């Protein structure tokens, strides 16, 4: 059955997040790198999600990234979906993410892009990584279907070829009751076979929303995004995870207090 939604139009980029409340984003110079935030979505929906809800859910992460990236010339945009559902083989949210990258390139020029997605947005970020403007991907508690690799009948395994030469970070709570953490681990295993630049962190006792360790997750995301976009030093935990053979580098625990005390 056809989806009843708004007419076709590209995904829209929200205004850049401001690093400071008293400074407008347009007071800065041209950005040297871009982070696109891909919020959660639904399995099936032809309707656009509430822009207020999307902004509210990503506000803290967007502001953290904007503050951390301001010295480097980072622009952080929230992607506003035209349709809020993955919609089966249509993979609508992946298309939305790709269009958002194209829009960012048109807006900011030939600058590197990092995709940061949450839940269904994490799946979209991983799928859209094949765009030549994307250099890195962060998938936070990515929604992934149970495929043949999990003994389930149905969809083919998630594609991974588009992640070649991209730097990839996956974060998943061990108590996620909505999306089994093993799904992202198996995907990371498949990516690692052809791409050494992938790591995965586990947040022990945290659930799908990763609220219990929000500070640590946001700090890890910001450090990874800045390192992959601007070449700033990656935290030792990330370097260790990238260097470790599977499964160690794909089950790296995210320590409580990560980022509160910086390495010397």
Tell me, which fold does domain 17-253 have in CATH? Rossmann fold (3.40.50)
Q: What pLDDT sits at residue 261?
A: 58
**Residue ranges per domain, the chain?**
17-253
DSSP letters, 164-220, are TT-EEEEEEETT-SSS-HHHHHHHHHHHHTT-SSEEEEEETT--TT--TTHHHHHHH
Q: What pLDDT sits at residue 84?
A: 83
pTM for this model (two decimals):
0.90
Q: What pLDDT sits at residue 172?
A: 98
Q: What pLDDT sits at residue 26?
A: 52
> What b-and-e string marks burial along 126-146, b requiring 16 or more CB atoms within 10 Å of the CB?
bbbbbbebbbbbbbbbbbbbb
Q: Which residue ranges of the chain lie beneath pLDDT 50?
A: 1-7, 22, 150, 263-264
Q: What pLDDT sits at residue 264?
A: 40
Q: What pLDDT sits at residue 218?
A: 97
> Which residue is listed with tokens 């890195």?
136
Strands of the sheet with 198-203, listed across from one edge: 12-13, 74-80, 33-38, 113-118, 134-140, 167-173, 198-203, 252-253
Q: How confident is the model over 16-65, as pLDDT tens digits?
A: 998 875 455 555 678 999 999 999 988 877 777 776 666 777 999 999 99
Q: What pLDDT sits at residue 130?
A: 97
**SS3 state of residue 223:** helix
Q: How confident is the model over 98-114, as pLDDT tens digits?
A: 999 999 999 999 999 99
């Amino acid at each position: 059955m056809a989806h009843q939604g708004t007419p076709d139009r590209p995904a829209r980029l929200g205004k850049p997040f401001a690093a400071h409340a008293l400074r407008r984003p347009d007071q800065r110079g041209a950005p040297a790198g871009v982070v696109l935030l891909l919020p959660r979505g639904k399995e099936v929906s032809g309707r656009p999600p509430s822009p207020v809800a999307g902004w509210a859910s990503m506000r803290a992460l967007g502001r953290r990234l904007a503050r951390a990236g301001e010295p480097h010339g980072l622009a952080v945009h929230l992607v506003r979906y035209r349709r809020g559902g993955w919609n089966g083989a249509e993979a609508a949210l992946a298309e939305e993410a790709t269009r958002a990258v194209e829009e960012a390139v048109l807006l900011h020029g030939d600058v590197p892009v990092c995709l940061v997605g949450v839940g269904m947005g994490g799946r979209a970020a991983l799928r859209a990584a094949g765009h030549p403007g994307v250099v890195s991907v962060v998938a936070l508690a990515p929604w992934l279907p149970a495929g043949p690799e999990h003994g389930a009948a149905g969809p083919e395994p998630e594609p991974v070829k588009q992640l070649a030469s991209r730097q990839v970070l996956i974060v998943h709570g061990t108590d996620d009751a909505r999306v089994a953490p093993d799904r992202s681990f198996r995907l990371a295993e498949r990516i690692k076979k052809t791409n050494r630049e992938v790591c995965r962190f586990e947040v022990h006792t945290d659930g799908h929303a990763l609220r219990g360790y929000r500070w640590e997750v946001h700090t890890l995301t910001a450090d990874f995004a800045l390192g992959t976009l601007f070449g700033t030093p990656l935290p030792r935990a990330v370097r260790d995870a990238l260097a470790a053979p599977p499964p160690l580098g794909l089950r790296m625990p995210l320590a409580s207090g990560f980022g509160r005390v910086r390495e010397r």
